[in-house]
Each structure stands twice: as C-alpha cells, then as structure tokens.
Structure 1
Amino acid sequence: MSPQTLEDLPKEIMLSVCSFLDVTHPQSLVAYAQASKSCYAVASGLLYRTIKLTFTTSEHLARDVGTWEKLLHRDEVFAQVRRLIIYQSEAKDDRRRTYSSLKECERFDDDSSLQSFWDIYPGVWGDRYPGFLGYREHGGMDRTGDLERIPTVWPLVAQLMKKLPGLTDLYFTCSLEFPACLLQTLHETLTEKKCRLHYYGFGGLTHGGGRDGALATSPCLYSYGPSRTDLIEPTARSLVLHQAPILKGLSVMLPFDMPSAHLDLFSDTDHENQDEDDNITVLSGHQKSKPVPLEYLQVRKVDTPNILQSNSFKLSSWATDVDFSALRVLRLEVAVRPKKLPAPSMFPALTTLFFQCAIDLNPYFRYWDTVLSFLRHLPQLTTLQLQDWSRWISVLPGLKSDLRRLHLSRQVRLDTKETVDCDDIHKLADICPQLEDLSIEIRRRRSDENETSLYRALGRLPRLQTLEIKMDPWFDAFDEEYLAGHPLDPPGPYRQGHVRDVFVNGAIDRSLARSIFKVIDAAKAELSGAVLPLKQLEVQAPTHDVPFRHRELQPFLDALRRRWLVERDFRLDAQDMLHVREVDLKFKSEHNESIAFYDNGPYTGPDEELEPILSIWRRLWPSKGEGRPWWEDWESWPLALEA
C-alpha cells in the first residue's frame, strides 16, 4: 500500500494501526512515520510516548533536556508523553534516546517480559560498585560526579516534567538520591494525574525523616529498587512497605559479602524469629498492619546466586508484610533451599516466574522433585525462565499446558550429557501446545542428520514464533571415549579430533542460521490446525562454555563466537523473505581486538604454542590466498538436508 493510499484512510483507523505496530513491530511504525508529513503527524504521538534522559555529566543532562524540549515543541506532542526515563550512563551515545532504541519493557508494561530495569540498566550497580551497597557511606562518589549538589540541573528536569500533562510513569534509574525538586513536582503537579514513580537508585527510604520520609510516604511511589541492602532488615522492610500507599513493586538487593546466597522464604514452620517479627511496629504505632498486596517482587544478589551455603539468611517475616496472592511477577534470582520453597497455592495470580536453581545440592534428586512440584502447581503461570537447570533432570514434568514462554538455561558442566533430544521436543509440543517463545540449548553434531532432525522436531510446536537456540559445541559421549587400554585415560590430553569437532560445531555463520530457520519453518508447514509461523530465530554458539581451558585455544574460540538473528519479513506480501543480521557487534569488536593483540602484542602468525591448534584450523579451512586473516577465514558446515 502506497503512502498516498494510507493518507486517504481516516485518522482514527491509522492511529489504531500505528498502536498495533507500536506493540508488534516498532520498525514498521518508524517506516510509516517516515513516509510523509501526514503519516508522521499520526505516528508522532506514539514515537514520543516514552522519552529518555541520560547523563554522564551535568552538562550532558542539561543538553539532553534542551534537545527533548525542542523536539516536543516542534511536533507539539508534550501531551503525548506517558513515560519519562532518567538513567545513568557512562557512554555519550545520543542514539540511546531514540524510539528505535527502546526496549519492550520501556515502551509499555508487560507481565510476561523477562527483562526488568535492573537487567537493562546494570550500570547502576552491575560490575562497578560506586553508589552501591553503602559506597558513599565509606567515602566514595559516583564516577559521574554528585549531580545532587548541582542546583541548576535537576530544576531543568522538573520544568520539563511540568510541561507533560499526560505523564503516567517516571523511572529514575540512577545511583543517586532522588532529587527533592522532582519529588516536589510530582506532588504539586502530577499527583492528581496519578503519575507513578519507579525509583531504582541509591537512596534509602528507611531512615524515617527528611527527604527519605517524604519519598517513602509519597502517594506516587509505585515501585522501589534500592542499590543498597536496607530491606533485608524486617523493621526497615515493614516501614517501607506500610508507608508507601500505592507501592506495588519491590526489588531487593542482598549484600555481596553475605555468607549465604539462599533464601528462607515464606516458612510457616520456622518460629526461630517469631518473637522478633511480632514486635515489629509500623511507624509510631503498635498494631500490625495488614500485608501489602505487591504485584512484582525481585530478589537479587551480585555474587554466586546459584550457590547454597550453610548459614541461612532468614526472610520468613516477609509473609507477615506481603500479601502474595496479588503477586503477578516473581523473580527469585538467588537459589532457594528445597524445604523452604513456598506453597504454590500462595501465588494464585502469578503469571511470570524467574527461578535461579542451585548447583550444590545434597540430597540431589529431592531438590529437583520439589522444584518440579512447585512449578507444576502454579495455577496461572504462563512465562517461565529457569536458570542453571540440571542437565540430568528433565524439566518436562514441571510444565503445564498454558505455558506460553519458556527460557531454559542449563548448568555449565564438563560432561557429555545432552540437554535435549528429539523425544524431549516432541513431548514438549504435546505438553505445551500454546508455547510461543522458547529458548533452549542444543548439542551440535557437525550438521549431520541427527542435528537436522532436532530442528525439524522444533517445527512440531504449532504456535512457536520466537526461538533462541544456544548451541553446545561439545562432542558426544562416543567421541569422548579413549581406546581401551590407552595410557592416556581421562583426565588427559584431548585428541586433535576433539579440538576439530569443537571448531566445526562452534562455526555458525549467516548461511547456517538461515538454513536452521528454513528447516524449522518447513516442519511447521506440515502441521494441520491452527499453526502460527515462526517469526524470529536467534542462534549463538557459547564457545566460552567448552571444557577447554588452555590459553592457546581461546583466540580461536573467540574468532568463532557469533550471534545471529533471523527475522521473517513483517509484510504480508513478503512472508517468505528472511532477514539475517549479526547482533552483539560490540562484543565481536572487543574479541577481534583481543585476537589481533593476543598475549599483549600484535598477533601476526603462529608461535610454538599456537601452531598445533592453527594446523587443525587450517585443515578445516585452508587459506584461500585472499589476504584475509585466519580468524575471518572460516565458514559453517551445511546441514544434512537429505535426512
């Protein structure tokens, strides 16, 4: 349909179409907006529903505010802004504020989203500790400088907020205390309009007075995720929960130096701290308040979240403060002891669960039986992400027919146990016929018939539209065995064939990614009934997980590391067209640099240590004499499509 034809349609119809594109295919919304001035006039309101302010310095933040004011004034869309995100960044990249750069969870609320603001803005705490876990209390300061002390910056943001009459959500994701002028603007200008504050920052709400008290009792505070650990204390937790009148979301950080990484959640049988819990007061009163009906709860920890240690960290009192019957999203990003798993009946409304599995368990199988039973009896669960699931335990007994999204990450173990086979995929199709989004790991087999059959089996999932495959490049159990009586019994040197197979299985290029998509799509075409086409496939080879730890092998594994995204064309008249592009290019450039300057110097050719491995590489991919370096001179093995 030409732009002229689109312009002839009523504005109300095109606005509905644009709203649909905003949710399903943002790229098409951008393309429509660029078609003509009249198209842009219709779409601009959606393009500006979410705006982002970033800062690395006070000058950068002020410039960002000025840029947005000019854009909003030019297009007369101040009233269309619904979300304002203020986030801290170390990179001065203006592209991050564009509509195309927005994550799904930034554009609109979605309970099934597996991303949170702590996932997409890890720089607030992530790998650097300034502004995190009491850093300032020990004399530290943010790398960006303390903007709180610069009086001319935050009032500019406050003035912008006053010009946004339709603002419904303010996200503050910074390692700074919440500015007083922004809080005043929320209370004086936006409270009646029910603007919600989502505060993911440094400041705490548990000190009771001054600005902390004003923020904790704010009628706008909707979700709270501190970069510090105040909420592990029962009294502090109770104060925060019962002071904020509309609080629905909470993200709890556990201390990185805590001697335990597991949670004792919701225990009705553990009365060790019952007296302490009964003595908790709320503000100045002496009567307990009713549990708060949270809708979102995240419990996270920086280090070793999958390790269970002997000393238990008690969170039994949470059941007295929180009504979990309203909880829709639960992210347990730390391991939980099996006997302390809550009863599934406590979560009648839970639709999304992130569950971090433990890896040091005794007894072993009892833990997985308990977890499977817990998953199986969650009545409303539709989105499930399992982290570090055992390679030896099938997840199928814990799944239900209503599941729509499943992301399964297996434990990294140096064994030959395959994570999934054709029979597993067939059973998954029978158990979860509504599955639309799947992320799994598959063992590569040098592109042979058995590997191709796995991709065909994935085509048995009738409603599957989004698929992520993490390739396991390790060889199978037969190839791992040594000849009987051979003196080099494991553990011992790996054979050259082992290295060769890892290279073959780790080599995933554009052509192979496209072939995998076509095999799965062809298998879906053979199904009858209501079948949805595969829309997106993501393929990557985690070569860092292979059990080779030799220094000499690492540059070769880095050279093979690729991540491909295959997408079906969104247009109805071009559904057979596939678009393949490489993602994570920043990661690729960083690793290419590590290859070129391997071992603290330019890598121009093999040395005595690298030469044996390079000879295996060249046996697979001989030099074509085109002057290309060895790390670019490779290609994948094609699939055996005759199977």
Structure 2
Amino acid sequence: MNRLPPELLHQICLSLHADGLDSRTTLSIFSRLNHTCYGIAAPLVYQHLSVIFWDRQTLRETVSELTEEGLGRQFVKYARKLSIICLDPYTGNSPRARSGQLEGYKLGLSRDVEGDLAAKNTFLESHLTDPSLCRAAAFDLLTSWSSYRKSQRDWDPLATLIARLYHLGQIDFLVQDNFPISLQEAISQHHPNCLLNLWSSQNVSTSVPGLKKLANPQLWEQIADDNPVIDVNLLRLQGLHTFAVQIPGKSDGNSGRIELDEMLPFLFLAPNLKHLLLEDPTRHRLPMDMLKEEWHKFAVTMQPVPISSLQSISIGRPGPYEDILLKLANIVDLSQLRSLQINATHDTAVLTRVPALFPNLERLFISTNGYGWGRPSLSTDDDIGIAAIRAFNPLKYLYLDGFRSVSSLNQILQRHGLSLKGLIVIPCIQPMNRPDEAHFRYNYPELDAFDISQLAKSCPQLEELRIPIKRSMGSQEECEMYKALGNFSSLRSLVLDLHFDPRSRPVYRIEQVEASVLQEIFVNATMDEKLALQIWHLISSNQASRRLQHLRVAPFGHESLPRDEIRLLDWCSPTKEVKGEIDKVIIYLGI
C-alpha cells in the first residue's frame, strides 16, 4: 500500500465509502496502514456532519462534542456538508433516537429525506431502499423533523459552530421554522459561497417592512413568537440553492383563489437558486388585503430585478393552484426548467397551458389527487388531464400517482414511451371518510401480462421501473406478468408494488371478511426472501439482455382490512427488510 499513488488510494477510499461501509470501520482500516491512507480517508469519513436535536439541551450537548476535546472534533476540520435536523420531542426521546444521539453528529440523511422529488438527481434509487415504502416503517426517525419550540429556541450554538467549520460548502436545514437571522449572518460572514437548502416552507409574507406597524400588536407578537420573522435579505443570499416557501392565498368566492402575487418577483433575487418548492399555508393570520398592499408598496420602492437559474419547481400538497406556474413564467424565463412536480391537480384545463412553458422539461412528477380532477368512475381518468400530460415534449422520466386505467397509461406512453428512461406508476391509497369507520380505495391501472408486454414495446429504453401488480396466490396469470417484465430489455432497476387484497374496489373496513377471502389475503401478503427470489428468476430468465440488477417487492393492502386482521397480519408477516445477494443483484423485500 505504501507504494500506491495517492490518486489510487483516494479511489479505494471512495469505493469503500460508496459501498456504505461504516465510517469508523473505514477509518480504522486505513489508520492501521499508514499516515497517508489516514489522511486520504479522514476527509471522506468526516465530510458530512448532521446535528440532530429536539430541544435546547440536546442541541448544546451535540455541539459540545465538536469542541477541540470532543469526540466529533474532526468534523470541524473536514466537514463540507452540515445537516441541521430538529426532531419532535416524542421522536427525540424514543430509545432509537437516544441511542443515536450519543453520536448524533455522525447520522447522515437518507437520499430521499432531503426534500421534494423534483429537486433530486436520482429517480428510482431511493425507492429501492427507502423504508417508508414499508407501512410500519413509514414513521422514520429522520423524516420526523419538527419545530424548535419557542420556549427552547437558542440558535447561538449552531451559529458558533458554523463560524468554526473550516470547509463548509452546504447546509441542509430540516427544521419546521423560519431560517434564523443569526445563522444567516454566520453564513454571510464566514461562508458566503456556502449552498443553503431550506427544505421546510418559509413564511416570507410577514417579512415585508411596514406590516408590524399595521398589524394588531398582540397578534403580531403571537406571530413572531410562533415563528420569528425572516430577514428579507435571505431572498438575496448568494448561496440560496433550495427554497421552500409559503404562498398565502384565499378563495375568491367562486372556484378560484386570490394569492399574494406581489411577493412572487422577490422569490427570484438569489442568483444561484436552483430548486423552488411552493406550498400553501394551512392558515395565515394577517388579512390578505393588508399583505397585498404592503408587498405592492415594497415592490414599488425596491424595484426587484428577478433572475432565474431554476432547475426544478415543486408544488406541494396543499399548494397553490396550477396557475401559479403561469404567473411565474410572466416574471422570469422558465424555458430551461428540467424538473416539475405537481402534487395535487386542481384544474386540468389550466394544466393544458403548462407544457408550453417548459419546452426543455425532462422529468415530470404529477398526481391526479387534486380537488378538480374529474372522477367519472374508479376505472377512468380525466381526458383533459391525460391530454395535458401528452402535450409535454417527450420526457426522460415520468412519475404518475393515482392514475386508474391501463388505457390512460397507454395514451401517455404513446407520447413519451420512446424517450423514457424511468417510469414510476404509484398505487394511490385514497381514504374516504364515513361516519362509522374509515374505508379506502386503491387507484392504479390493473395490468395483465399482455399490458406489460405492450408497455415494454412502448418503452424500449426504459432502465428504471416501478409498477403495481395484483397478486393471485402465485397463479399462472400472476407468473405470466412477472415473465412479461423480462421484455423490458434495458431494465436495470425494478420495484413491484404487490397488492394482496383480491376484493373489488372500494373496500369497506366495516364489512366482515369472508374466511376464503381472508385466506387468500394472507397467502398473498405472506412474503419472504424465497418468494422474492422466485419472482426474480421469473423476470430474469425471460430477459435476454440479463441487465436487471435490482429488484424490490413492496406488498400493500393493509389499509382495507379490519383492525384485528391487520394485527394478525403484522404478527404473521413482521415488517422488515430482507436482503439477499446474487452476484451483483440485491433483492429488497419490505412489508
């Protein structure tokens, strides 16, 4: 090893780190070799610092470990990325969190925790490993980020830490609060080129000067206590890279909304902003007329000059309506946008005007679960919405949530199939409230072997795929569907959502489940590594190219069962991930 060039040692370290080898193990291995190896490995091991806390005490304790004598002192020297994560007290005080808190600064973020889909570089990778695909694992430690309680707020330890870090290049803020002024000042003073990702929605609307004088003093004090007012200069920050922001609005009395349009130009002042996440706050306490008037005055005074280098826009749920995209396009040029995510479709007629705004779009994430998407039946989709999706230029990646019919899917793929490299069709589990008991319905296209073969013909370049399949106790029809998946000659990664409930939709929990149906449900839902391997072999043996490398099976259907049956099913099929390795093939099984 002493004779190896540093470049090769660096590549070895990178490979070990990329393979997920425990950081301490990696460093221990290289420290035993020589000082050169240690010097190459240490910057990789300590490059990502996560500060995880849930109150003032835990924040101080964690930061104290980063002093010159603390266990985490090496992070001060090498860390390039800082993740600030506030958990809710319940999660924070759980045994799992307490065990991790002893070395909380070493906990990294999963790749799918860091924000909305449109802001990610990966497409299907996180679907292979994300535990939230598993029903009981959805309450994940690192996705339960919360607000820093006002009685506990003390950002000084973090501001001091930011000032002390040698090579800080990126901050991810996962706290359900406005970004504090003290941290903003620390970044501007010590790391002016540091990228800042604000994943929690920021309340910018109250930051305009003049509101404090007009608002009721008691109400203003309450607003400031709940979430301190943002420094409006945050919108100009050089390193602002990802920005989640609340867009206040109210009903116009008809079917539309009145939104704070006067604020929109100020969202495009940061020169390096790449990802914009738009959300609609559940409530805003100041009158909309007051907000609009003060932002209008501020715009007249400041004369903002919007610029855009955006790569992605995401509209959350709840979020503003689709016409927000038309408004933004009138402010800046969005023609170079690469990714668009619409989490709730409200008006498919407006949606038809969106594709012309984004001629270079490559990735579209869209859900039909809005209030305005037509629902003529459980098996059909809104024709106008389908036409809107077809109006986009051919896409490389497409994420469809809540679509019902195979016909709709085929129409969409007639337009985009030849160019697609990734396709995700999510089974929508939609609750429908009743006074006696909740019940559910599942919206997804029910494919058979012929349908899957047709999809393969429509998408010859497809490398990543996630689709739902309905189980039937390993019947010949079910096996033929797995075999048909082998017709995707370019497919490398596959996630199968396996629906184990054979009953028609919708299904009411209040109904008594017949013994024969319950038996079929349990047969379909009981899965192990052996079954996953059998599914793998059916697919792989029918794929002539043998390109498939990753498979995950994720059963679903618990929501439609009575509670006693759910408990019994959990006992028979405990939630877990089973990993088996065949050469370079990793199979993930999650229930």
Q: State how far apart, in whole Å, the 2-side matches of 1:296 and 1:146 are.
A: 36
* Amino acid aligned to 1:54: I
* Amino acid aligned to 1:104: R
In the other structure, the counterpart of 1:48 is: 46
In the other structure, the counterpart of 2:160 is: 159
The alpha-carbon deviation at position 355 of structure 1 amounts to: 0.6
Q: Secondary structure at the match of 2:84?
A: strand
Determine if the alignment matches structure 1 residue 332 to structure 2 residue 342.
yes
In the other structure, the counterpart of 2:422 is: 405
- Are 2:266 and 2:304, in contact at CA under 8 Å, matched by a contact in 1? no
Cα distance, 1:285–1:545 mapped onto 2, change above 3 Å: same
Determine if the alignment matches structure 1 residue 65 to structure 2 residue 63.
yes
| More off after superposition, 401-410 vs 205-214 | 205-214
- Are 2:246 and 2:281, in contact at CA under 8 Å, matched by a contact in 1? no
- Are 1:195 and 1:220, in contact at CA under 8 Å, matched by a contact in 2? yes
Paired residue for 1:234, among 240, 250, 260? 260
Determine if the alignment matches structure 1 residue 425 to structure 2 residue 452.
yes
Q: Secondary structure at the match of 2:553?
A: strand
Query: Per-residue CA shift, 1:516-572, capped at 9, x if unaligned?
Result: 223222323xx14xx42322x2222213244x5x45433334335556656564xxx
In the other structure, the counterpart of 1:386 is: 400
- Are 1:509 and 1:562, in contact at CA under 8 Å, matched by a contact in 2? no
In the other structure, the counterpart of 1:554 is: 566
- Are 2:236 and 2:269, in contact at CA under 8 Å, matched by a contact in 1? yes
Cα distance, 1:439–1:533 mapped onto 2, change above 3 Å: closer
Q: Secondary structure at the match of 1:102?
A: coil
* Amino acid aligned to 1:406: L
Cα distance, 1:282–1:15 mapped onto 2, change above 3 Å: farther
Q: State how far apart, in whole Å, the 1-side matches of 2:394 and 2:548 are.
A: 26
Determine if the alignment matches structure 1 residue 284 to structure 2 residue 284.
no
In the other structure, the counterpart of 1:263 is: none
In the other structure, the counterpart of 2:549 is: 534
- Are 1:513 and 1:564, in contact at CA under 8 Å, matched by a contact in 2? no
Q: Secondary structure at the match of 1:284?
A: helix
Cα distance, 1:454–1:205 mapped onto 2, change above 3 Å: same
The alpha-carbon deviation at position 98 of structure 1 amounts to: 6.8
Equivalent runs, 1:77-476 vs 2, <5 Å? 78=76, 80-90=78-88, 91=92, 92-93=97-98, 95=100, 97=104, 101-104=108-111, 110-113=120-123, 144-148=149-153, 150=154, 154-191=155-192, 194-201=193-200, 203-206=202-205, 207-209=207-209, 212-226=231-245, 229=248, 233-256=259-282, 283-285=299-301, 289=305, 292-302=308-318, 315=324, 316-341=326-351, 342-358=353-369, 361=374, 368-379=382-393, 381-391=395-405, 393-399=407-413, 400-412=417-429, 419-475=446-502
The alpha-carbon deviation at position 176 of structure 1 amounts to: 2.7
- Are 2:322 and 2:345, in contact at CA under 8 Å, matched by a contact in 1? no
Q: State how far apart, in whole Å, the 2-side matches of 1:441 and 1:575 are.
A: 26
Q: Secondary structure at the match of 1:325?
A: coil
Query: Per-residue CA shift, 1:478-523, capped at 9, x if unaligned?
Result: xx9xxxxxxxxxx997643222212211221232122222322232
- Are 1:202 and 1:226, in contact at CA under 8 Å, matched by a contact in 2? yes
* Amino acid aligned to 1:445: S
Q: State how far apart, in whole Å, the 2-side matches of 1:322 and 1:198 are.
A: 21
The alpha-carbon deviation at position 377 of structure 1 amounts to: 4.6
Q: State how far apart, in whole Å, the 1-side matches of 2:244 and 2:82 are.
A: 17
Query: Per-residue CA shift, 1:61-101, capped at 9, x if unaligned?
Result: 12222324569987856454221110111323464857674
- Are 1:349 and 1:380, in contact at CA under 8 Å, matched by a contact in 2? no
Q: State how far apart, in whole Å, the 2-side matches of 1:32 and 1:336 are.
A: 50
Query: Per-residue CA shift, 1:246-296, capped at 9, x if unaligned?
Result: 3332222224479xxxxxxxxxxxxxxxxx99x967633486855644222
TM-score normalized with structure 2 length:
0.73
Cα distance, 1:159–1:99 mapped onto 2, change above 3 Å: closer
The alpha-carbon deviation at position 15 of structure 1 amounts to: 1.7
Q: State how far apart, in whole Å, the 2-side matches of 1:384 and 1:417 are.
A: 15
Cα distance, 1:417–1:494 mapped onto 2, change above 3 Å: farther
Q: State how far apart, in whole Å, the 2-side matches of 1:431 and 1:313 are.
A: 29
* Amino acid aligned to 2:199: Y
In the other structure, the counterpart of 1:626 is: none
Cα distance, 1:541–1:60 mapped onto 2, change above 3 Å: same
Determine if the alignment matches structure 1 residue 26 to structure 2 residue 20.
yes
- Stretches of structure 1 that go unaligned for 5 or more consecutive residues are 132-141, 259-275, 306-310, 481-490, 585-643
- Stretches of structure 2 that go unaligned for 5 or more consecutive residues are 210-228, 251-257, 285-291, 430-439
Determine if the alignment matches structure 1 residue 35 to structure 2 residue 52.
no
- Are 2:176 and 2:201, in contact at CA under 8 Å, matched by a contact in 1? yes
Q: State how far apart, in whole Å, the 1-side matches of 2:175 and 2:40 are.
A: 33
| More off after superposition, 163-172 vs 200-209 | 200-209
Q: Secondary structure at the match of 1:361?
A: coil
Query: Per-residue CA shift, 1:301-343, capped at 9, x if unaligned?
Result: 25xx8xxxxx978535233234321322222111232211134
* Amino acid aligned to 2:426: S
Cα distance, 1:568–1:348 mapped onto 2, change above 3 Å: farther
Task: Supply the RMSD in Å over aligned alpha carbons.
Answer: 4.4
Cα distance, 1:98–1:397 mapped onto 2, change above 3 Å: farther
* Amino acid aligned to 2:109: L
In the other structure, the counterpart of 2:434 is: none
* Amino acid aligned to 1:181: S
Cα distance, 1:290–1:77 mapped onto 2, change above 3 Å: closer
Q: State how far apart, in whole Å, the 1-side matches of 2:334 and 2:139 are.
A: 27
* Amino acid aligned to 1:575: D
The alpha-carbon deviation at position 443 of structure 1 amounts to: 0.9
The alpha-carbon deviation at position 171 of structure 1 amounts to: 1.6
The alpha-carbon deviation at position 438 of structure 1 amounts to: 1.7
The alpha-carbon deviation at position 583 of structure 1 amounts to: 5.0
In the other structure, the counterpart of 1:543 is: 557
Higher radius of gyration, 1 or 2: 1
- Are 2:86 and 2:175, in contact at CA under 8 Å, matched by a contact in 1? yes
Cα distance, 1:403–1:99 mapped onto 2, change above 3 Å: farther
Determine if the alignment matches structure 1 residue 508 to structure 2 residue 506.
no
* Amino acid aligned to 2:423: L
Q: State how far apart, in whole Å, the 1-side matches of 2:157 and 2:443 are.
A: 59
- Are 1:324 and 1:346, in contact at CA under 8 Å, matched by a contact in 2? yes
In the other structure, the counterpart of 2:217 is: none
- Are 1:200 and 1:227, in contact at CA under 8 Å, matched by a contact in 2? no
Q: State how far apart, in whole Å, the 1-side matches of 2:113 and 2:163 are.
A: 21
